[in-house]
Structure 1
């Protein structure tokens, strides 16, 4: 547990916070966005779930956290319209260590929902966002409970423990 207490992001929105010092992570997400969109579209086409469930491992806090959720919702909404289907509900499990600043994420949700609907141009299906604190060195979810796992810059820590 000691290494988990050391490896954490600075919370809040201050000058030294992760929210204001995560350009490298943002660029990593943007650089791989097209791959994620392709995977999401293929997965959605094969499963057509009523509720599309996504886990973001190592989500941290700040503006990058909800970029993945935004990408998923937009990709699924677009393919749903192409298939003349109503978009599904969405459930996002934002995972990080217990010390993560989940409150900053939750405080940003009203603006996130509003901005997402403005960008899409219509009301989106229900979108549930949950904090799932814990380490992915142990079990976080029941079997068959997640459609898509995402990790932009977390799994590299596996070689460090």
Structure 2
């Protein structure tokens, strides 16, 4: 049996779901946040792209899925406003195994984008999301 067939998370939002049992992963994300923010700010400052792509390899589903994406978008937008630049377009690629609960992720996007607009105003670049099922460990 292949790893892709064995490893999976519990979808949905029930008691046994990954969404309700991912606090350790959230802690790791918060520890690595300064490193990822610095990397995206360095990338933006060296290229000033009109479009910026973010790939989350192993995104899963639940509260952590869009946590990193939102922090990266906010960091770039804050820098753009400080520099007097327009925010770039954001292309977000969410990747995980085919059994991932992509439906829950996509249902949460209107709320996610509404929250970003509430926090940052309407000036941040448009965000386009893609769900890309498959393992990045393979070919």
TM-score bracket for the superposition, by shorter chain length:
over 0.9
Give the CA deviation at 1:31. Answer: 1.1
TM-score by length of 1: 0.83
Q: Which residue of 2 aligns with 1:95?
A: 95
Map 1:111-122 to 2 at 5 A: 111-122=111-122
Is 1:134 the counterpart of 2:122? The answer is no
Give the CA deviation at 1:132. Answer: 0.8
Distance 1:21 1:123 in 2: 34
Deviating above 4 A after TM superposition, structure 1's stretches of 4 or more consecutive aligned residues are none
Contact persistence 2:87–2:123 (CA under 8 A): no
Distance 1:129 1:62 in 2: 16
Q: Which residue of 2 aligns with 1:14?
A: 14
Aligned length: 139
TM-score by length of 2: 0.95
Distance 2:138 2:52 in 1: 23
Give the CA deviation at 1:38. Answer: 0.9
Map 1:4-153 to 2 at 5 A: 4-138=4-138
Give the CA deviation at 1:12. Answer: 0.4
Distance 1:56 1:21 in 2: 19
Give the CA deviation at 1:36. Answer: 1.0
- In angstroms, what is the RMSD of aligned CA positions? 1.2
Contact persistence 2:19–2:63 (CA under 8 A): yes
